[in-house]
Structure 1
Amino acid sequence: MCSTVTPHNDLATGHSQSHAQPLASHERKRFRGCVQAPKRRLHPTPGGSMKKLLATTSMALALTLAACSSPASPGSQATPGAAQGETKKVTMWMYPVIADSAKSQAFWGQAEKDFEAANAGIDLVIEQQPWDNRDEKLATAIASGKGPDLVVLGPDQLPQYQASGGLASLKKAYEGQEDKFLKSAVEAATVDGDVYAVPIYHTITTTVYNKKAFDAAGVTELPTTWDQVKAAAPKLAAQGVSIMDYSGDAKMTLNLSFYPLLWQAGGSVFAEDGRSVAFNSPEGKETLQFLVDLQKVGGLPADAATKGNKVEGGGLSTGKTAMGYALVKPEADIMIKALGEDAVVVGEPLKNKEQVAFGLPGLLTRTSISKDEASAATVAKFFSSAEFAPTLSKASGYFSARQDVKPDSADKVGAKFAEALAFAKAGEINSKARQVMASLQPHIQSALQGAKTVDAALADAEAEANAVLKG
C-alpha cells in the first residue's frame, strides 16, 4: 500500500515530521507522491553508524512483528525468475530535489507515466519522502525488507549502508554508458570495487565576484588564486569592503567553508585509512593561516568566525563583501538581482596547489530490498539518461552528472556553474564525518577570533577528533 505524508513543522530543525495515511486502492496508481518539505539543500550529511541503526531497527521490528497478527503493508515484491510477460514492480523513493512541492508532485507524476509508457513490463511506484529522518526511515525499511528498491542517497551514506548489507549492485545500469558520467560521480557511487548507484543530478559550488567592488578598489583583474586574493585584500579593505566571504557559524557545514580551502591547499580531513584525521598538517595550517591573515587585514567580514552564509541581505548582496568562493547558483542569482547583471561574474573555483570545488552527486541507489537487478537497472538507466537529465536539471536547478549533456546555452550563469563540475569533490567519506566536523569547527572559530594560534587550534581539534574516531 502506498501512503501520503502530511507534514508538520519542526521549528527546531527546519525540517518536517510526517504521518502516513493509506490511500484507497483506486488511488494507488496515480499519484503516489508525498507532500514534502520545501527546503532546498546540497545534501544532508548523516551522522552515526548505519550498521548500528539497522541492527537496532531489525531487533525492534522482529519484536513488533512477533507480537502482532496483522500483516505489514507490502513494499516492493519483485520476484526473480517470474514468468515471461509478468509485470515487475519497482518502488523508488525520491526526496525534495525540486523545492516547490506542487511542481515536484507534477514532475515526478509525469516522469512515472513517461517511464511506464516506454517500459510496459514494469510497474514503477515513485514515492516522495521528506529529508527529515530519512536515515531512520530507510533503515527501518531495509531491516523489514519492505520499502524502496531504489532510493536517492548522498555519497557519504553509501559506505554505511553497504557495510550493513543494505545495498545491492547496480552495475547493469552502466551497460552501454560506462564512460558517460563524471568520473568523480561514479567514484562516489562505488564502494569496495562494486557500483551501487547511478548519479541522476549533481550540485556544484564555485567562485562568484562583485566586479564593481574590485573596480572601485582599482583591482582590474579578478583574483583566481590565493596569492591574488591576499594581494588584493588590503585594497578592498581600504574601501570598507571585505574581499572574501567566510561563514564560521557552528551550524554551517565545513563542506561550504573550511574544507574547500583545505582541499585547494592539497590537504585532507581524514587519513587514508579513515582512522585518524589529517587536517593538522602543513596544508591544514596553511589553510587556517590564510583565513587568519585575511581577517587581520580586513579581508573577511568582521564576524566571519560566527556568521551564517545568508546571501540575501548579507555582505555579498549589499556590496560589503566582494566575492564568495563556495556559492551555489541560487546565491549567484540573488547577487545578480541585488547588484545588477553587469556587476556579477561567475568564475572557476579558486586555485592554490589544487583547484577544487565542493559538489555532490545525487545517487539513485539500489537497496537490498530489490531482488530484480534487471528491472532496477532499467529504471535507473531511464532516470540517469541523457534524455531525462535536462528536464530534471530545469525543474530542480541542479546539474547533470553526465559528460554528454550540455547546460542550457541561454542560461549563461548556469553554464558557468556547470563548467565547475570538472573540479567537483564530493567531500570526504567517513561514518563519523559529522562528529569530526563538530570537533574542528569551534577551534577554527577560536583562531579567527584571535583566542588561539593556528598551531594550537589545529592540535586541539586533532586530539578531539581522533578521540571521536576511536570512540
Structure 2
Amino acid sequence: MKRKLIAAIGVAGMMIGLAACGSDDDGGDKKKSGADGFKGQTLTVWTMDGSTPDQWQKDLTAEFEKKTGAKVKFETQVWDGIQQKLTTALSEENPPDVFEIGNTQTPAYAKTGGLADLSDLKKGVGADWAENFNKATVVDGKQYAAPWWFANRVVVYNKAIFAEAGIKDIPKTRADLFAAFDKIKAKGKEPVYMPGQNWYFFDGLTIGKGAELVKKDGDKWVSNLSDPKIGEAMEIYKKYQSYSNAPKDKNEATPQQADVFSKGKTGAMIAMGWEAATAIKANPKLEKDLGYFTIPGETADKPEGVFLGGSNLAVAEGSKKQELAKEFLKLALSDKYEGQLAKLNGVIPNKESLNSNLTGNAVAEAAAPAAKFGGTTPLIPEWAAVENPPNPITTYMTAVLNGKSHADAAKQVEGELNKRLSQKQ
C-alpha cells in the first residue's frame, strides 16, 4: 500500500482553505434520454495522489463515458494543503463536481453547506455499506458523502525474532501477545516499538472499550477523558509501552518507527502497511522476515478496536452537474470498481462482502478482520482543533506513562481540551 495513499490517516483532522479549478464547460445537468444523456458535458473529479490506480481510472473512465456520453477529467491533488484548497474551491462558482475527502473531515465540510445531499444515492447503491464505515458520511441524519476506502493498523512482526523466542503460533488474544512479548524480552530483544504518544493506536483502544472522548453538555461538546473506560484503554496502552524502549513523550513519527524497526532488533510494531514498506526500503534484507497479523483483542473472536482512516467521495453542493456526478458515483462505488480498487491498492472496501479482493495481500488480509470493529475520532467539526499539536490527549498519555493516575492526568488536560472544543470552525 502506498504511503501517500495512507497519509490521509495522519492529517485527517485538520481543516482550512486555497484556490481551485472546476469543470471546463458551462453546461449544467441538461440530461437527455439514452446513453448520450449527458453528451457534451465534462465532469471534474478530484482524487488524491495514490488513490486511483491507472487501470482503475482507465476502466472506469471508459465505462462512464460509454454510459453517459459525457467526459470525465480526473485532477490529482496532494494531501499537503488540500483542506485549504478544497475549502476555497467549494465556495467558488465552478467547484470540482466530485472529490475525495478524508473521512473524519466530512462532517465539518457538511456543516459549512459545501456538500450535496446524497441520501438518494445511499438508497440506490449503498444498502449494504458497512455501518461503521458509513457513520462518517452522515450528518444530522443526511447522507453527505459515500464511504470509499479504508485502512487500519496491524501487527508487523519480525519472524526471525519471534522464532528465536520460541513463538510458533500467531497470538490470538491480547494475553497471547503479551506472553509472546515476555519471551522476546527474555531473549534480550525489544518486544515492540511503542512510543508514548502513538495517538491513533490509543484511539483504537478506546474504540475497543466502547468509550467516547467527548460528550454533550447542553449545546456544546466537552471532554469525556475522565471516563473510567478511557482509563482502562490507557492501562492497555501502558502495558504495551512497558515492553518498549521508545520515549514516552514522542509519537511514532519521532523518530519514524519504521526506521527503528528496520534495524532488525525489535520484535514488532503496530503500524500501517506503508510503514512496513518503509522498513523494507531501509533494510531490504528484512523483507523475508516480515509477517503481519491482526491486532488481537481480549478474546480470540473479537480483534482489538482500531482507528479507521480513509476517504469518502462527495459531490459539491455548488456543482451544476449533480445528476451526472451521481452517475459517476454509481459506477465508482459499484462492486466491480470498489472491488478492483481494493485489489489494486490493498485498501479495505466499503462492504465486507468485497473483502475477497484482498486475498494475497498480506497486510490487507491482516487488517480486514479488525476493520469491522473499528471507528474514528469524534465526528464533529469541533474536533479538528483538538488534534493540532500539542494534542492534549497525547499530553494525558505521557502523564499516565510517567506515573500519574488516569483521573489526575485527565483533569490536567481537560481545560485545554474544552478550550479547543469551543473554538469556532
TM-score over 0.5 (shorter chain):
yes
| % identical aligned pairs | 22
- Quick one: distance in 1 between partners of 2:374 and 2:266? 25
Contact 2:118 2:143 in 1 (8 A): yes
The residue type equivalent to 1:439 in the other structure is P
Does 2:252 correspond to 1:299?
no
User: How much does 1:196 deviate?
Assistant: 2.0
Contact 1:76 1:148 in 2 (8 A): no
Contact 2:339 2:349 in 1 (8 A): yes
Aligned partner (choices 326, 350, 363) of residue 377 of structure 1: 326
User: How much does 1:259 deviate?
Assistant: 1.0
Distance 1:128 1:302, change over 3 A: closer
User: How much does 1:107 deviate?
Assistant: 4.8
Does 2:145 correspond to 1:197?
yes
- Quick one: distance in 2 between partners of 1:299 and 1:245? 8
The residue type equivalent to 1:145 in the other structure is E
The residue type equivalent to 1:41 in the other structure is A
Match of 1:430 in 2: 380
SS at match of 1:110: helix
Tell me the number of residue pairs that the alignment of Structure 1 and Structure 2 aligns: 402
User: How much does 1:360 deviate?
Assistant: 2.6
Q: Deviations over 1:5-55 (max 9, x none)?
A: xxxxxxxxxxxxxxxxxxxxxxxxxxxxxxxx967514322435x6xx6xx
- Quick one: distance in 2 between partners of 1:108 and 1:235? 45
1:199-214 paired onto structure 2 within 5 Å: 199-214=147-162
User: How much does 1:394 deviate?
Assistant: 4.3
Distance 1:76 1:193, change over 3 A: farther
Does 2:44 correspond to 1:91?
yes
Aligned partner (choices 25, 38, 41) of residue 7 of structure 2: 41
- Quick one: distance in 2 between partners of 1:47 and 1:206? 24
SS at match of 1:41: helix
Does 2:215 correspond to 1:267?
no
User: Which ranges of structure 2 fall in alignment gaps of 5 or more residues?
Assistant: none
Does 2:413 correspond to 1:461?
yes
- Quick one: distance in 2 between partners of 1:40 and 1:403? 20
Q: TM-score, normalised by structure 1?
A: 0.74
Match of 1:322 in 2: 267
- Quick one: distance in 2 between partners of 1:122 and 1:448? 58
Match of 1:288 in 2: 234
Aligned partner (choices 223, 238, 242) of residue 277 of structure 1: 223
1:119-268 paired onto structure 2 within 5 Å: 119-219=67-167, 221-248=169-196, 254-255=199-200, 257-268=201-212
Distance 1:186 1:118, change over 3 A: farther
- Quick one: distance in 1 between partners of 2:375 and 2:194? 19
Q: Deviations over 1:154-173 (max 9, x none)?
A: 22222111111111112343
Contact 1:361 1:401 in 2 (8 A): no
Q: Deviations over 1:82-136 (max 9, x none)?
A: 55555243221111134xxxx96x5576256414443243232222122222122
Q: CA RMSD in A?
A: 3.4
Higher fraction of helix: 2
The residue type equivalent to 1:350 in the other structure is P
Contact 1:76 1:146 in 2 (8 A): no
Aligned partner (choices 352, 360, 367) of residue 417 of structure 1: 367
Moved more, 190-199 or 210-219: 210-219
Contact 2:56 2:341 in 1 (8 A): no
User: Which ranges of structure 1 fall in alignment gaps of 5 or more residues?
Assistant: 1-36, 62-71
The residue type equivalent to 2:417 in the other structure is A
Match of 1:386 in 2: 335
